[in-house]
Amino acid sequence: MKLSPSFFAASDSSPAETGDAQPTQTGDAAKAAATGKAEASSKQADTAKSGTTKAAKTGSKKTTAAATKTTSVDARLPPGGVNMITPSALAQTSYYKVGDDVTFAWNYTSLSVKPSKIDVYVSCQANSATYTISNNATFEPTGKVVWDTKPEASGTAPLLTETYTLVIHDASKDITAIPVAGHLGAYNQFQFGMYTPQPYTPLSEGWRCATCSGAMSSVDMQALKFMLGMCMITPISNMPSSSTQPAQWTSSMKSFLKRALANGEDNKSAIILLETEYPKMVGKVGEKWVEKVRRGEA
């Protein structure tokens, strides 16, 4: 059998192309593919690791924040309150003059969660007005404020001769919020009075004693003076002549006597008026003492 030369040529060239060209290209591509896969895998791993780290950090921050804001309080505990120090909670009703500085001081009770800021103000139901004393004040274990009641400092509404209520509450909560165990509830249990002093009015210009029965007119006063002059229990002739200060003498009695003398009353008439206003002083005030008051020596 005779074979053609072309047969050998085909046989010789085919293995060279198959062994040299095709396997070389396949090997390079495999290396590139392997390298790409490794890089992609590495990037995915880094991304996953970074995401895990961020998530862990974020979760840690959220957990810490939640732990900071949340405080466990026994629901059976009472809400936080206020105990007044100045004026004392045991004192009788306090009265303050409009224009003076008024000091309030207090402690907190049953407080498990401390507020960061405190609001303090005064309310008056008569004129539906609110007077701010302290706004967003930093919390202190013992609270203290000084209220300037001068007209230009007290607020827009003028202060009346009325009853007022002191209000202390957590600035971060509404005043109508329901009290919660261990948290400061709105305190509005302390009430006090404010008054405006009246200007001095002489007897001759119609001054009337606010504590006298019926606040008699000047005509009634003259009639009373005449009647007492005629039939006093202690006759004027028997009035004590001592120049010493009578027992149970007070500054208000001295002021009353001075007003009577300043209005032109003589010593005896001034004594009658004084004993009418202060019955416990009947027979105890001497003319010489009144004269010393008149001269400013007493």
pLDDT in tens, 228-270: 555 444 444 444 556 788 888 888 888 888 888 888 888 888 8
pLDDT tier at 286 (50, 70, 90 boundaries)? confident
At residue 212, the pLDDT reads 55
At residue 130, the pLDDT reads 92
More reliable by pLDDT, 277 or 136:
136
Reported as type and span, the H/E element at residue 260 is helix 251-262
- Say yes or no to pLDDT of 206 above 80: no
For residues 30-48, give the mean pLDDT: 52
111, two tokens: 């407080």
At residue 83, the pLDDT reads 94
Q: 106 near 126, Cβ under 8 Å?
A: no
At residue 217, the pLDDT reads 56
For residues 121-127, give the mean pLDDT: 93
Q: Average per-residue pLDDT in the chain?
A: 74
At residue 121, the pLDDT reads 95
pLDDT in tens, 76-86: 999 999 999 99
Rounded distance between C-alpha atoms, residue 115 and residue 139, angstroms = 7
At residue 123, the pLDDT reads 94
> Considering only 84-98, 206-220, 233-247, which range has the smallest mean pLDDT?
206-220
> Considering only 25-29, 161-165, 170-174, which range has the smallest mean pLDDT?
25-29
Per-residue three-class SS string for 198-244? CCCCCHHHCCCCCCCCCCCCHHHHHHHHHHHHHHCCCCHHHCCCCCC
More reliable by pLDDT, 27 or 209:
209
pLDDT in tens, 7-29: 444 444 444 444 444 444 445 55
**Other CB atoms within 10 A of residue 164 CB:** 23
For residues 150-174, give the mean pLDDT: 87
For residues 272-288, give the mean pLDDT: 83
More reliable by pLDDT, 274 or 24:
274
Closest CA to 254 of 289, 207, 212: 289
% of residues, the chain, pLDDT over 90:
31
Diameter of the chain by CA atoms? 185
Rounded distance between C-alpha atoms, residue 24 and residue 96, angstroms = 106
At residue 80, the pLDDT reads 94
Rounded distance between C-alpha atoms, residue 149 and residue 162, angstroms = 13
Ranked by mean pLDDT, which of 74-78, 163-167, 242-246, 286-290 comes out on top?
163-167
Ranked by mean pLDDT, which of 12-16, 73-77, 128-132, 208-212 comes out on top?
128-132
At residue 48, the pLDDT reads 47
For residues 87-114, give the mean pLDDT: 89
